[in-house]
Structure 1
C-alpha cells in the first residue's frame, strides 16, 4: 500500500502509527505544514524503511508563517520531498492569495535550483495559478497534485505538464472525484489518505485506508485490486526515478 500524502505528525499517537505502518509495510509520505515542524516530523521516519518525510509550508498558513521560508530553504538538502505546499483559493483563504503565491514560487524556485524535488501540492480553488507556477519553474514532471478538484480543462492542462495525481477515499467517494480520476492517466496516479484531516464517518483516515483508494481505482479502471495495486506501485517507482538520489 502507498499513502503519498498523510499528516502523520498530527495524529493522536504518531509514534505508534508510524510503527504500525512500518510493520505493515505501508509506504507513507509524511507531509509537514510548517518548516518548524520538520525536526519532530522527520524523527517519525528515523530507522524506518517505508516512511519518508516531506518538508512543507501549507498555503493556509503562508500568511502567518511566510518568515519560515528561509528556514525551509536551509533544510532543503535534508529531503528529496517537498510538501505540503501550494495555493488555496477557497473563500476563507483567497484574501491571502498574493502572499501564498510569493511563498509558493520562492519554494519552487529554491528547490529547482537544488536539482529539483518531488512535490505534493495543494491546489483547492487555485488550480490555474498552481499550474502556471509549475509551468514557470518546470516542476510538472515531479509535481503530485494532491486531491485535485479542478475542472476537466484544468486537468487536461496538468496532464500536458506531465503532472502526477494522488487520490484518496474521500475524493473517490464523490461523483466529481471519481469522474476526474477516470480522466487521469493510469500511469500517473498514486494513492493517499490526507489523514487525519480526511475522515471515514467520524474516524480519521489512516495510511491503512490507502487500500480503500486502491480498491476504488480498481473499480474505476475495471481491473482487479491486485492489478491496481501493482500499477500504483509501478507508478511510484517511476516517479522516484525523476529526482536523483530519491528512494
Structure 2
C-alpha cells in the first residue's frame, strides 16, 4: 500500500485558485510544506492551511525578488516566532538575477542570522548556480537548523560538501527527468531525500502539477534505487517524519 505523499516544496498561494488547491490538499491526506516568496504573503497563505495539521506554511523571501522585498526583513523577523519552517530562501546566480547579488546575499545572511538566534528552523533553500555560495553561508551559521536543498543542481563536489554538512534534499519529477539529476540523486543519502512538486512552476501533460503529485518522483527514485515505488513512498514518509521531529525552532506558537 502506498504511503501518504510528501511534498516538501510547493507554492499553494501562487495557483490560480489557492483555496481550492488547499482544500484538495486537505482531502488528499498528503504532508505538504507550502512555501512563500515574501513575508507579506505568509499570514494569508498560512490561513489556507487552517484545519489541516498536515499542511505547514514556510516563511520565505525568494532570492529572485530579494532586491524588491529587502524592506520586508523586519516583518520576516517579526513573523519568525510563529513558524518552525523557513523558505523559499537562498541565492540565485543566474545571469538575470546576479545583477542583484549584493541584495540577495544581504537578505540571505540576515535570514540565517535571525534563524540562528531563534533556535534554528527547517529551511528549504534555493541554490541555482549558487551552490558553493549557499554552502558557505550555511557554514557561517551552523546553528541555523536543518537545511533542505530544493531541486539541487550543483556539481558532484558541491553535493558531497552539502552531504558532509548534513544537508537534506527535496527532489521532484522535473529534476528526475534528466540523467544529470538522476546521477545527483544516486549520490545523495537515501534517508535525507524528500519529494517535492515545486508546483505550480512545474508542469506535466500540459498542466501545472498540483501539490503532492509526486508519483512520478516515486517511480524515478525507485528506478534509481532498484526498488518498488511503493517502497519509495514509505521510505520518503519515514524520512519526512524524522525531519519533522528535528529539535529546532525553540518555542513557537504554531508548527
Residues in 2 aligned to 1:191 and 1:155: alpha-carbon distance in whole angstroms: 17
Unaligned runs of 5+ in 2: none
Are 2:192 and 1:188 aligned? yes
Picking from 129, 137, 141, the partner of 1:133 is 137
Picking from 189, 197, 203, the partner of 2:201 is 197
Describe the shift of the 1:220–1:141 C-alpha distance in structure 2 as closer, same or farther (beyond 3 A): farther
Contact 1:141–1:162 under 8 Å retained in 2: no
Compute the displacement of 1:16 (Å): 1.1
Q: What is the CA deviation profile of residues 35-62 of structure 1, one whole-angstrom value per residue up to 9, with x for unaligned ones?
A: 0111211111111121100000000000
- State the partner residue of 1:68: 72
Residues in 2 aligned to 1:221 and 1:118: alpha-carbon distance in whole angstroms: 26
Contact 1:140–1:161 under 8 Å retained in 2: no
Picking from 5, 10, 21, the partner of 1:17 is 21
Name the one with the larger helix percent: 1
Structure ranking higher on relative contact order (CA contacts 8 Å, 6+ apart): 2
Contact 2:153–2:181 under 8 Å retained in 1: yes
Corresponding residue SS for 1:71: helix
Are 2:218 and 1:214 aligned? yes
Are 2:169 and 1:159 aligned? no
Residues in 2 aligned to 1:190 and 1:139: alpha-carbon distance in whole angstroms: 22
TM-score, length-normalised on structure 2?
0.94
Picking from 92, 95, 99, the partner of 2:103 is 99
Q: What is the CA deviation profile of residues 137-167 of structure 1, one whole-angstrom value per residue up to 9, with x for unaligned ones?
A: 0157610000000000000000010100000
Contact 2:49–2:55 under 8 Å retained in 1: yes
- State the partner residue of 1:88: 92
Residues in 1 aligned to 2:111 and 2:72: alpha-carbon distance in whole angstroms: 11
- State the partner residue of 2:48: 44
Please show how residues 226-245 of structure 1 align to structure 2 within 5 Å: 226-244=230-248
Count of residues in Structure 1 that have an aligned counterpart in Structure 2: 247
Residues in 1 aligned to 2:145 and 2:186: alpha-carbon distance in whole angstroms: 20
- State the partner residue of 2:154: 150
Q: CA RMSD in A?
A: 1.4
Residues in 1 aligned to 2:144 and 2:227: alpha-carbon distance in whole angstroms: 28
Residues in 1 aligned to 2:72 and 2:145: alpha-carbon distance in whole angstroms: 26
Corresponding residue SS for 2:174: helix
Describe the shift of the 1:74–1:141 C-alpha distance in structure 2 as closer, same or farther (beyond 3 A): closer
